[in-house]
Amino acid sequence: TRSLANKVGVLSSYEKARISDAEKALKRGIFFISQGDYINAHADLYYTYLILTDVKETLLYMFQNLVISIYFITPLISISSLSLGAILFKDRCKRIFTGALIFVLLIMPLYYAHPGYTLLREHAYNPLAGTIIEQLFPSLLLVFSFVAGLLLISLPYTRGEKSDRRSLLLRSAIVAAFSLAAENLKRRKMRTILVMGMIVFSIFAFITLTSFSYETGFIVDKMRKNAPSNGLLIIQRSNESDVYPYGPVDPQLIKWINEREGVLLTVPLLKNVPQIGSPPKSLGSLLNPNLNLSYNIFGVLGIRPSLESKITGINRIVSMGRFLMDVDFNGILISQEAKNALKIEINDTIVFCGRNFVVVGIFDSVKLGEIIDLDGESILPQKIQLIMTQGGPVYLSHYVPAEAIVIILDQTASELPQLNMIVSRVNVQLLNPNYEEIFSLARSATLIFPRVESFISFDGEITHLYIGHRIISYGFGGILLLLILVSLNVCVMMLNSVYERRREIQILSILGLNPSQISAVFICEAFIMAFIAGSLGYFFSLSIYVFFNIFQFAPALKYKAEVFWSIIALCLSIITSVFGSLIPSLKASVMATPSLLRRFIVSFFKRGEFLAVDIPLRIKEKEIIEFFNFIMRRMNEYSNPLYSEERVDGETLVKDEMDPSNTRLRFIYKYATYRVKTENEIFLVKSENSHYYMVKLFSRSLLPWTSAGKKASVWQTAAFVRRLILEYTERKK
């Protein structure tokens, strides 16, 4: 196992630390054998076996993933390097040269730090094994990755795309948005580099300062639960643990515990094997032979009264009569609900499972439900609900209601075979109840016997010992705060950029970009910075392992060299950056709108099928005629047969010589022939407490059906009107 770890190199420092723990346990086991302490020797040797088995599986998994990750990381380095070169320089030759130089500088330390490149030379992992160019495969991979990145950056993505006369198609729009974003980043290199530096640092910290691992073996967990007293609880899971919530404790385990030095007493608890069904059947009925009344019972507890009272305080549940005594072999405790149903009193005789019992006490079912064991769980038995699904049966366990439970002596319960009683757990009390003694016994029991779990209750804290799986992670809380700070920094930087580029935003709007497309430019800027910086941060974090190895300083962290960690790093950087750019991008979109109204507001008009749309424009009374004349002229141009994609027909200007504010413009708007056809009217509404008039649009679809949807048709018309209004406002300037 250590030879496998050495083959992985510095990336296996966490696994090497676990191997060192296994070696220490092995030495302890050998020492215990020499001293004749075979119990502790058995525990330590099995502990060693569990660690080494899990580490070996982890290392073999790493071997597989390290090779796969090379095929993803190498092209990613190429794309990131060439993208960074494209941001730094406009000249094509300089961009390629700078990208190649950055690629070489990044790949050199990574080539020696990442064991995947070493594994590629081995026959088992080399796809060119057995050929004359077998040894050249790593070099060919580097060359191919660089060429692929160069093609990806330089390809003409809009070639072959047919666009209409009115707007960009999707592919062209995406390419245009990224091109504009890249040009803006080039013009502000220093600011771009500083923001990218923060993202690089955050991703670097995420990879190097956090640890996440899934481990199998001997687990010790602290539980946030309360227990009634100090002690040790031992359970043994069923062979069918996916069905039964608890299993019978092996008598050999109980005997072994009693033979241990320092054990004062053991307190077994008997429960019935959980009933399975839909719904589960009752175990039997309590019978009142005098009145011929019955009451169904679903759970039975078998206890040793004097011992159980000291451990769990179960004697507090009695509300009438008294609690059981160790000699009450025919005594029984029933619930208040059972007493009322059977109409019996204390010391009356009832029949259960064909045996006569004397009711010595009545318990409060609420108090019984509140009794917890040393593992912090309820003491109640359980029943299993069977649910049949297409994927097979599903078993759901539930606690039996306390009112449907009876309590008898453990010896008596074991004499009733129809109840199918088992020892569900054993509580252990020691002569010297200190934590070290309890932990040693719990550890030995868990490691020596199969399916055993131990719970140590000590000073108000419960420790769970078991053999199984767990996820170990730490460091993520601090990294989350760092990512939030980076997101805020991106937000501040881009807000400044938005205010600096107000004129540019207005020009983009005049050229035909709608607010969403303008927002997309800023989001693309954030995406480009995040992609490059996230990639660089991940590569730097992998390369730093070389220096850890040189200076013999390798923190025991689970290093993240697999493909999915690089994807997670990229996603985190992109989410952080794009989230920080949302507010600035929204701010940029409303800058192009010459009004305080930030977006179209569509509301249903009360009359007919018309929808009312508030157009974001305010005009003065003296500008009304000029405004309508301009819009009318532009609509006349769209009546030209040359406009086949987007047309305006039937445009009519209705003027009121006495009151210009009553002027209305009616028209029919068509888009893509059969997709949109609307009847429309533009008019003015005077603002309250203002000398300005607001522009409104009434619109309704004339098509009985439309692929775009009637409301979407109105939106398309409103977007057309808005473009004309933007032209009008720009002409005024």
pLDDT at 654 over 70: yes
Give the pLDDT score at 160. Answer: 53
Lowest mean pLDDT of 352-361, 387-396, 722-731, name the range. Answer: 722-731
Nearest to 359 by CA among 387, 389, 385, 339: 339
How many residues does the structure list for the chain? 733
Give the pLDDT score at 2. Answer: 67
| Token pair belonging to 533 | 């910086």
| Token pair belonging to 331 | 């005594």
CA 514 vs. chain centroid, Å, equals 35
**How far apart, in whole angstroms, are the C-alpha atoms of residue 616 and residue 729?**
11
Give the pLDDT score at 528. Answer: 86
pLDDT at 38 over 90: no
Q: What percent of the chain has pLDDT over 70?
A: 87
The DSSP H or E segment spanning 716 is: helix 710-732
HSE-up (13 A, CA, CB side) for residue 706: 22
Give the pLDDT score at 555. Answer: 61
pLDDT at 478 over 80: no
More confident residue, 42 or 641: 42
Backbone angles phi, psi at 676, to 5 degrees: -135, 130
Q: What is the mean pLDDT of the chain?
A: 82
More confident residue, 176 or 227: 227
Give the pLDDT score at 591. Answer: 61
| pLDDT average, residue stretch 682-705 | 83
Give the pLDDT score at 452. Answer: 92
Out of 109-123, 266-280, 635-649, the most confident range is 266-280
Lowest mean pLDDT of 295-309, 431-445, 601-615, name the range. Answer: 601-615
**How far apart, in whole angstroms, are the C-alpha atoms of residue 240 and residue 640?**
80
CB contact burial 316-339 (16+ within 10 A = b; e otherwise):
ebbeebebbeeebeebbbbbeebb
Q: How far is CA 106 from CA 206, 529, 536, in A?
A: 19, 18, 8
Out of 257-261, 406-410, 568-572, the most confident range is 406-410
CB atoms within 10 A of CB 6: 10
Which residues are within 8 A (CB) of 552 and not within 5 positions of it... i.e. 6 or more apart? none
| Token pair belonging to 572 | 């985190």
Q: How far is CA 30 from CA 2, 509, 620, in A?
A: 19, 80, 96
Out of 2-16, 212-226, 305-319, 702-716, the most confident range is 305-319
| Token pair belonging to 361 | 């006490």
Which 3 state secondary structure label does DSSP give 685? strand
Give the pLDDT score at 595. Answer: 42
Give the pLDDT score at 642. Answer: 67
| Token pair belonging to 610 | 């018309």
Structural domains in the chain, sorted by start: 1-155 (no CATH), 169-210+475-592 (no CATH), 220-282+297-321+369-471 (no CATH), 601-732 (3.30.530)
Give the pLDDT score at 333. Answer: 94
**Residue 356 banded pLDDT, cuts 50, 70, 90:** very high
For the stretch 444-453, pLDDT in tens is: 999 999 999 9
For the stretch 150-170, pLDDT in tens is: 888 776 655 555 555 445 556
Out of 346-355, 494-503, 504-513, 552-561, the most confident range is 346-355
| Token pair belonging to 69 | 């990750």
For the stretch 664-679, pLDDT in tens is: 999 999 887 667 888 9
Q: Strand ranges (DSSP E) for 592-733?
A: 601-604, 611-620, 646-654, 664-671, 676-686, 692-701
CB atoms within 10 A of CB 52: 19
Q: How far is CA 180 from CA 91, 287, 440, 540, 716, in A?
A: 16, 86, 68, 29, 25
CB atoms within 10 A of CB 465: 21
More confident residue, 32 or 559: 32
**Residue 724 banded pLDDT, cuts 50, 70, 90:** confident
The residue behind tokens 């108090």 is 367
pLDDT at 612 over 90: no
For the stretch 142-152, pLDDT in tens is: 888 888 888 88
Q: Does residue 105 contact residue 99 with C-beta atoms inside 8 Å? A: no
Which 3 state secondary structure label does DSSP give 161? coil
pLDDT at 392 over 50: yes
Give the pLDDT score at 594. Answer: 46
The DSSP H or E segment spanning 319 is: strand 318-321
**How far apart, in whole angstroms, are the C-alpha atoms of residue 293 and residue 299?**
19
pLDDT at 695 over 50: yes
Give the pLDDT score at 87. Answer: 82
The DSSP H or E segment spanning 126 is: none
Q: Does residue 105 contact residue 84 with C-beta atoms inside 8 Å? A: no
**How far apart, in whole angstroms, are the C-alpha atoms of residue 195 and residue 193?**
6
> Which residues lie across from 457 on neighbouring strands?
231, 462
Q: Does residue 225 contact residue 559 with C-beta atoms inside 8 Å? A: no
| Token pair belonging to 474 | 């730490």
pLDDT at 690 over 90: no
Q: Does residue 97 contact residue 75 with C-beta atoms inside 8 Å? A: no
The residue behind tokens 């009360």 is 606
pLDDT at 246 over 50: yes
